[in-house]
Structure 1
Amino acid sequence: MHRSPKYMLNNGVSIDALGYGVYKVPAEDCANLVSTALDTGYRTIDTAALYGNEAGVGQAVNRAVAGGLLREDVFVTSKVWNTEQGYDSTLAAFDASMEELGLDYLDMFLIHWPCPERGLFIPTYKALETLYQQGRVRAIGVSNFEPTHLHQLLDACDVIPAVNQVELHPWLAQRELLALHAELGIATQAWSPLARGAILADSTLSALAADHGRSTAQIVLRWHVQSGHLVIPKASSAQRIRENLSVFDFSLSDADMARVDALDQGRRSGSNPNQVN
């Protein structure tokens, strides 16, 4: 199995380009699936307070470390939920997540949604800056932030987010946002990289899969990697966990990439960040 290449964040911390996301992974299955992912070669695990499975992530990581894996070789991300936004409540939410995870430190902590109507993402991020300065988290960032949210944040805060985790796939290429990320030095991490599975029926992608002797999901994930995105596909079976990581032993041609790029239609599979509060 080819391991994911590393990507260096703007603060010098390294993260795998391709990780394992546990959104909607049931709490009772999470520990075993994360253990399978770690055994397969994944080293980046993405969870959140909302998912209700932080405990399973922590159990799997601690189990792997007890078995000889170095803790510093595993990158764990979690996120503060909307109802916990605000400076003091974010610090409390972080403590709660760490208790669930059972880890000594967190690799990255994100604001889950900007929730612009709440008007709290700036003090929330200032709490993340405090945690970062205290060394309790190795990197901080945001999720689902649009350009206007990023500009407001950067005008008021000191630490440039290491990551903005957003919905991103061939049907939603987010080119304006990615250009801003490149300008600011923010890494783009794709959630819903397969448009919640809907994109797997796309005829162009199916044709490319046939051409390369790969699954359609592998074509899309390879497109993400070659586009420079960080990506965290979710999988609920050992077979899919292995398949999703098996994208580093082939490549798409420039013509292939252009065919995938042309699929952009601004189509979301999830919520609009301006409408989540």
Structure 2
Amino acid sequence: MTLTKETRVTLNDGNMMPILGLGTYASPDVPKSLAEEAVKIAIDVGYRHIDCAFITGNEMHIGNGIRSKISDGTVKREDIFYTGKLWCTYFSPEMVRKGLERSLRDVGMDYLDLFLMHWPVSLKPSGASDPSDKDKPFIYDNVDLCATWEALEACKDAGLVRSLGVSNFNRRQLERILNKPGLKYKPVCNQVECHIYLGQSKLQAYCKSKDIILVAYSVLGSHRDKDWVDLSLPVLLEDPVLCKVAAKYNRTPAEVAMRFVLQNEIVVLAKSFSAARLKQNLGVFDFEINPEDMKILKSLDKNLHYGPFKEMKEHPEYPFDDEY
């Protein structure tokens, strides 16, 4: 399987997505300026797929980094594949375009390459009418996902976004969109947590049958943010079997963990603000895991979610109660 940092997959709408992207989430204690510098370094070393989201609060900094590399001639806007996400407080149909325009304004672009429904759950901030207020606690809302999707289709027709997708959707929720009467554009991808402990093979098979690409976040397990990760869970990159396979190939466990997901025909988002790791992660294109070792790594699947987002568990659209 020949893969390079220039390899792109063709989406069901004809657009092309690079198979390796830069994830840009950082915990609140990380200075936003680090994200801007990481984007510049990532573009310099060859990344062309940048993944961000309104809720992370750093789209402005990510946009600054991208625009600086456009203005210095390193890349053109059309070289960059930028993904944004519609946060759950913008799911009311009349708010969808406002949510997209907020991201466009923050990142400083005329269009996004891909815009995702961030979760299949609709929320609204408690005690505030402004959906952009991240500091208010959220309460459940009951917006029809199909109505949100129709509003997104109108945004694509208006030229504000090239492709539309979803994130953290299960099969049942995807089917609801796909079976919507009058569907104009089906999701091009479903972005989900995916790694050697959470292979997502059944969800991937379903998505593949519908020509929907699976995109993986948290491919290295997760950072150890105690606010949303159970610190008693095993550290993926310390798995002894993974480490043994990595030693065999003279690679880091991170490189092997990422390569495993790529060889399963899943797009990978690699999150790092370290210049050394950003360069090292591109080493995934310098080797290939043989079929026997792929089977060994596949056997490590524990169906383990590092990010179960239990605070959403009581919502009727909580996605992880279904098998896949």
TM-score by length of 2: 0.82
| Residues 218-273 of structure 1 deviation map (CA, whole Å, 9 limit, x = unaligned) | 00111111110001011021111111122101000000110111111111100269
Equivalent position of 2:220 in the other structure: 194
2:255 to 212, 218, 224: 218
- 2: CA distance between counterparts of 1:168 and 1:80? 21
Structure 1: which amino acid aligns with 2:159? Answer: G
Displacement after TM superposition at 1:3 (Å)? 2.3
2:209 to 178, 183, 189: 183
| Residues 135-170 of structure 1 deviation map (CA, whole Å, 9 limit, x = unaligned) | 211111000000010011112233110110001111
Displacement after TM superposition at 1:276 (Å)? 7.3
Structure 1: which amino acid aligns with 2:33? Answer: E
Query: Which deviates more, 115-124 or 134-143?
Result: 115-124
Q: CA RMSD for the aligned pairs?
A: 1.6
- 2: CA distance between counterparts of 1:111 and 1:120? 12
* Structure 1 residues 74-93: aligned runs within 5 Å: 74-93=80-99
Equivalent position of 1:158 in the other structure: 184
| Residues 77-99 of structure 1 deviation map (CA, whole Å, 9 limit, x = unaligned) | 00011111111111111111111
Structure 2: which amino acid aligns with 1:107? Answer: D
Displacement after TM superposition at 1:31 (Å)? 1.1
Q: Assess, with a 3 A threshold, how the Cα gap between structure 1 residues 276 and 208 changes in structure 2: closer, same or farther.
A: farther
Aligned residues: 276
Displacement after TM superposition at 1:26 (Å)? 3.9
Equivalent position of 1:8 in the other structure: 10
Question: Do structure 1's residue 237 and structure 2's residue 263 form an aligned pair?
Answer: no
- 1: CA distance between counterparts of 2:289 and 2:104? 40
Tell me if structure 1 keeps the 8 A contact 2:198–2:305: yes
TM-score by length of 1: 0.95
Equivalent position of 1:66 in the other structure: 71
Equivalent position of 2:244 in the other structure: 207
1:37 to 20, 39, 42: 42
Displacement after TM superposition at 1:275 (Å)? 2.4
Structure 2: which amino acid aligns with 1:269? Answer: Y
- 2: CA distance between counterparts of 1:174 and 1:223? 13
Query: Which deviates more, 72-81 or 131-140?
Result: 131-140
Question: Do structure 1's residue 126 and structure 2's residue 131 form an aligned pair?
Answer: no
Question: Secondary structure in 1 aligned to 2:191?
Answer: strand
Q: Hey, which bits of structure 1, 4+ residues long, moved more than 4 A?
A: none
Question: Do structure 1's residue 137 and structure 2's residue 171 form an aligned pair?
Answer: no
Tell me if structure 2 keeps the 8 A contact 1:111–1:121: no
Tell me if structure 1 keeps the 8 A contact 2:92–2:143: no
**Which residues of structure 2 form unaligned runs of 5+?**
123-139, 224-234, 316-324
Structure 2: which amino acid aligns with 1:64? Answer: K
- 1: CA distance between counterparts of 2:5 and 2:169? 30
Question: Secondary structure in 2 aligned to 1:248?
Answer: helix
**Which residues of structure 1 form unaligned runs of 5+?**
none
| Residues 35-79 of structure 1 deviation map (CA, whole Å, 9 limit, x = unaligned) | 010001000000000010101111111111112211101000000
Displacement after TM superposition at 1:107 (Å)? 0.5
- 2: CA distance between counterparts of 1:27 and 1:90? 26
Tell me if structure 2 keeps the 8 A contact 1:98–1:106: yes
Tell me if structure 2 keeps the 8 A contact 1:4–1:245: no
Question: Secondary structure in 2 aligned to 1:194?
Answer: coil
Which structure would you say has the larger RCO, counting Cα contacts within 8 Å and 6 or more residues apart? 1
- 1: CA distance between counterparts of 2:19 and 2:297? 19
Q: Assess, with a 3 A threshold, how the Cα gap between structure 1 residues 177 and 240 changes in structure 2: closer, same or farther.
A: same
